[in-house]
């Protein structure tokens, strides 16, 4: 049996996860970071991306994180996040619809229908939606 680490994922609104895990992967500002049992103390800013972890039963979970902070010490990982969305909260059809709308806004930049500010926002949202769609796809494949 794998050695376990306590994982807590917290937003301003709720304690989202509190469980024992064998591994955690976070979107650190300098790239993806993996955390296992006996990890050295570590603190990092988190960017937008997927947080994934393997629970004690061996099941992989994926969550969308907008940004936050991770701290690890003494076999405990705490993630403080601005926004977290679980795979269960993501709806494939809604994500696909929003992605079509975002892509339309991006195409509108070519004809001048979309302002530079709107384009910047649309491109950022496209990156978020892409991550969310991958989480939904991975979650569906593992069930």
Segment 37-55, tens digit of pLDDT: 999 999 999 999 999 999 9
Place of tokens 């997927």: 50
Confidence of residue 28 (pLDDT cuts 50, 70, 90): very high
Structure tokens at 12: 């301003």
Whether residue 142 is predicted with pLDDT greater than 80 in this model: the reply is no
Our CA angle for 43, 124, 72, nearest 5°, is 10
The pLDDT assigned to 40 comes to 92
For residues 32 and 59, give the distance between their C-alpha atoms in angstroms, rounded to a whole number.
20
Per-residue pLDDT tens for 68-88? Answer: 999 999 999 999 999 999 999
Q: Which residues, other chains included, contact 60 with Cβ-Cβ below 8 Å and sequence gap of 6+?
A: 52, 53, 54, 138, 142
Q: 10 Å Cβ neighbour count for 47?
A: 15
Report pLDDT digits (tens) over 77-123.
999 999 999 999 999 999 999 999 999 999 988 888 888 999 999 99
Structure tokens at 23: 């591994």
């Amino acid at each position: 049996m794998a050695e376990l680490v306590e994982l807590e994922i917290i937003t301003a609104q709720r304690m989202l996860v509190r469980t024992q895990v064998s591994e955690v992967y976070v979107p650190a500002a300098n790239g993806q970071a993996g955390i296992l049992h006996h990890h050295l103390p570590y603190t990092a800013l988190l960017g937008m991306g997927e947080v994934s972890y393997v629970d004690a039963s061996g099941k992989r979970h994926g969550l969308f994180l907008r940004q936050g902070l991770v701290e690890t010490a003494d076999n405990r990982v705490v993630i403080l996040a601005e926004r977290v969305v679980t795979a269960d909260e993501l709806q494939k059809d809604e994500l696909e619809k929003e992605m079509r709308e975002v892509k339309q806004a991006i195409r509108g930049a070519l004809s001048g229908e979309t302002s530079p500010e709107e384009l910047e926002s649309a491109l950022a949202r496209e990156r978020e939606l892409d991550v969310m769609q991958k989480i939904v796809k991975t979650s569906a494949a593992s069930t």
